Amino acid sequence: MKRVFVPLLFLVAACGGPREGAGDLVGVERLPEERRALLVAYGSGGDAWEAARAAALADPAATRFLVENLMLEMMRSYDAFAARTDPRAHAAFVRAEEELARLGAAAAPELVELGAVGDGIVADLATRTLVRIGRDALAPTVGALERPDPRVRRRMAELLGRLPHGGDGETEVREALRQRILGDDEWIVRAESARALGLRGARDTETRATRLVLERAIVDDDPAVRRSAAEGLAALGDPEAIPALANALSRAVSDGDVKLVTTVERSLSTLAGDRRSRTPQQWLDFWRERRSKRERR
């Protein structure tokens, strides 16, 4: 007979109770019958689980119950796997993560919350699963960019750099990052947002709007933000940024900012497809010559 696996502890809040109770645990025997049946179906797998999952997704309370308990299972089984205390833990972890990714938009808001409030491994696990979810994770991640904690904003910006293009919703994502780059009080948020915007812009067919934002960020008051903006421009891959980078190189040389000089030179080489070392003026001359050749074609 196939063994039915049912985790021992589950979240009170997911049983339809108030959100304030999130994090409290109860024994499976205290769950309502329909919740116990859902967990038994999860342990059984197969057609029974497919049907139970579909039914749960039709009920917001059941969906919340399922998502929160899958997150708990993912974290607990990861801990057991890392500690090598249970030979079944790795399989349990992989399955819980896969189920959360499959739930997509239904799981994304809870995972973003876990990524926002969690630390270390917990946040990493949530982020990893959100990357697997992909486009459906964009909206809740963008929303979390408004959180008061700069550590959360930085983490969400980093996640946006890893998530796929938003299609028709990409403009909203770009604008959210633009606001962080040009208006956030914390340099670490501006820096991470600049890097993320460059990565996202590289997946877009129109790069001008992104390039202009990053060109503004390359004169930010903070040197780390300036470096991130240069890296973002390199990731963006738009050669039209060469003049702005050449001017940034000139300023970095004058300021004696060795780190920025190195970063900008690397970005210029990437965009030019040419590793040759040049002075700022030589880069400007290089760009004028390239543009002239292009216009003559």
Three-state DSSP string of 138-203: HHHHHHHCCCCCHHHHHHHHHHHCCCCCCHHHHHHHHHHHHHHHHHCCCHHHHHHHHHHHHHHHCC
Over its C-alpha atoms, the chain yields an Rg (Å, rounded) of 24
Return the pLDDT at 24.
Answer: 54
Residue given tokens 């216009």 in the structure block:
295
pLDDT tens digits along 42-69: 999 999 999 999 999 999 999 999 999 9
Instruction: Report, as ranges of residue numbers, the positions in the chain whose pLDDT lies below 50.
Output: 1-23
Round to whole Å and give the CA distance between 97 and 91. 10
Round to whole Å and give the CA distance between 223 and 219. 9
Return the pLDDT at 294.
Answer: 79
Return the pLDDT at 166.
Answer: 95
Return the pLDDT at 25.
Answer: 57
To the nearest 10°, report the CA torsion of 135, 138, 139, 145.
180
Return the pLDDT at 27.
Answer: 64
Contact residues for 239 (Cβ-Cβ < 8 A; gap 6+): 271, 272, 287, 290
Q: What is the pTM of this model?
A: 0.87
pLDDT tens digits along 245-289: 999 999 999 999 999 999 999 999 999 999 899 999 999 999 999
Round to whole Å and give the CA distance between 189 and 180. 7
The H-or-E segment that residue 25 falls in is: strand 25-27
Phi/psi of residue 265, each to 5°? -60, -40
Round to whole Å and give the CA distance between 231 and 245. 10
Round to whole Å and give the CA distance between 74 and 92. 7
